[in-house]
A and B are shown apart, each in its own frame.
Chain A
């Protein structure tokens, strides 16, 4: 009826909506924030812009970023994982201790670690969908249990709080090449984790925006009941997300092990919040249904720049947490505004 009259006007609307769509991107706030932090440290710290410094910043970003990707996906799916931080350590410990105790090839330990870590992720998802308890409670339980198991088993088996070195074992070198090697690109030393990170961001973005699974992730986070009603396998999607977190925890854990060849059993506690912060700064809504993998990468990059920038500026690192907290608050306020805009009914 009004199609004919609306058509010419539609051109203008399309132009405007392009800008509006850009403003509506989940990463926008994070990108602006990252640019601001980058400029700030470029002026505040002389050595910040050197290639070697940027490489260090990228490395710090990647260690958080690898985990921030699946944590962001999980958050878009409407859930949390508080066990993600210690799961990294568990994964490293399993790999290390299995190899050492069984005097097997390092790769056997790496494989066993993958299976066990995935099983823990599956357990989180299974418990969540079965009990219908909040993920906060379920994963807080897993977090505490894993923290205890990490310390308990390590002391029981090796007698100290850290594992025995596996640096001289068969297969260590090839495993190290995959998880903790350095590459020299154009005279700059880059950690291989940066490649893992970029690859995971690309994969997650593809899954999120261009596959059925991605559509389901948005749906189970934005409205699980509506999604179930149109036939989306809500439980399977959530379990899959927890398994993805576990898979990335395995990658991070193997990196942790291969870069030092020993693992401290108390490590990883508190890192889960860094992953969540990176995801939230990157535009993920805490309540689910909205966000992006690229945003989580930008969030992790902000983390890397801030944590290393403070060192390059020769400030007291105590200020770091303040920065992080302020960024988190700003990002959350921005997200709340975005959500209100998106959900506002005419």
Chain B
């Protein structure tokens, strides 16, 4: 089966700065490819190349077997690649129906009388959103009045409606609560079931593992691993995502640092956890305490997990 999108050893330089080097990934129809990495790992550069905002400098970028170099988002869209950005998915002051069709507005009439097909735009928006379970009384309300999760869903519904073959999602759950994230992930899965290839960019391995079929790990602009779901467990993914050997080093350093009273007094297991050698101890700790588990993972280090916990309470 040929891939919808195939990147082979793609690189990108900004002047002398290497933003991305030799990154390879494949997107197949009906599959979700997750790209995981910490801040600055090159996730956004990768997404910009696929979305057509930047051209790649090295390697090859194929869409359905044809080698391309995309010069604009329009080109990417015309080839069936739709990108949904975390914070710039929609124009918040504009009505929902105008947002839904933005950039691909249907028109009626000819010449100077060519005009937006407003009735059809409103109606389509209403029915398409209803199909995704979003019931709006008024598609004329500014989209900024919807919740963050709903806005992401509108953007996904839009991409699906316009016949995207590949859906690229940039941190769709980053700014959302647990329940909202669940709703968004449900639509991501729905898009996959509809036969789309999905690229899900995230720094949350839990969300990635829930829906992903293959996982590409980025670290400082380079590939740190590429696995199919069958090859890797959640713990191992979390460990690699969290930095693996770097975390061991960090845990080693923290061991010698004096433990602040706040942490030492409140959480008895902290000296214990850092005492256990290596990353397995940290992974174990991050799995156990429900609430702080997430911050331990996303922060990718024991230090930020601990400071987060002491800051909250």
The B interface, classified by DSSP as helix, strand, loop or mixed, is: loop
* B103→A232 contact, CB < 8 A: yes
Interface footprint category on A? 35 or more
CB-CB under 8 A from A216, the residues of chain B are 103
Q: How far is the CA of A345 from the CA of B143 in the complex (A)?
A: 9
* A229→B88 contact, CB < 8 A: yes
* B116→A231 contact, CB < 8 A: no
* A219→B91 contact, CB < 8 A: yes
Interface residues of B in 138-164 (CB under 8 A from A): 138, 140-142, 144-148
Partner of A13, one of B73, B83, B138: B138
Q: How far is the CA of A333 from the CA of B191 in the complex (A)?
A: 43
Q: Is A282 engaged at the interface, CB distance under 8 Å to the other chain?
A: no
CB-CB under 8 A from A10, the residues of chain B are 137
**Which of A83-91, A220-228, A251-259 contacts its partner?**
A220-228
Q: How far is the CB of B163 from chain A (nearest CB, A)?
A: 14
* B140→A289 contact, CB < 8 A: no
Q: How far is the CB of A336 from chain B (nearest CB, A)?
A: 13
Q: Is A6 engaged at the interface, CB distance under 8 Å to the other chain?
A: yes
* A210→B137 contact, CB < 8 A: no
Interface residues of B in 52-106 (CB under 8 A from A): 53, 72-74, 77, 83, 85, 88-94, 98, 101-105
Contacts A212-B107, A229-B51; is A17 near B137 (CB within 8 Å)? Answer: yes
* B85→A229 contact, CB < 8 A: yes
Contacts A1-B133, A17-B138; is A344 near B144 (CB within 8 Å)? Answer: yes
Q: How far is the CB of A17 from chain B (nearest CB, A)?
A: 5
Interface 0/1 of B100-122, CB less than 8 Å to A: 01111101000000111010000
CB-CB under 8 A from A51, the residues of chain B are none
Residue among B74, B77, B102 with the highest chain A CB neighbour number at 10 A = B102
* B77→A346 contact, CB < 8 A: no
Q: Is A21 engaged at the interface, CB distance under 8 Å to the other chain?
A: yes
* B94→A346 contact, CB < 8 A: no
Partner of B93, one of A21, A210, A211, A343: A343
CB-CB under 8 A from B130, the residues of chain A are 3
* A226→B142 contact, CB < 8 A: no
- The 27 sampled A-B contact pairs (Cβ below 8 Å) are A13-B138, A14-B137, A17-B140, A21-B140, A210-B116, A211-B114, A211-B116, A212-B105, A215-B102, A219-B94, A219-B98, A223-B88, A225-B85, A228-B73, A229-B51, A229-B85, A229-B88, A230-B102, A231-B72, A289-B91, A342-B142, A343-B92, A343-B142, A343-B144, A344-B145, A345-B144, A345-B146
Binding site for B on A (CB under 8 A): 1-3, 6, 10, 13-14, 17, 21, 206, 210-212, 214-216, 218-219, 222-223, 225-233, 285, 289-290, 339, 342-346
Known A-B contacts: A13-B137, A343-B92. Give 15 more (CB < 8 A): A6-B137, A17-B138, A215-B105, A222-B94, A226-B89, A226-B91, A227-B103, A229-B83, A230-B104, A232-B103, A285-B93, A289-B93, A342-B144, A342-B145, A343-B144
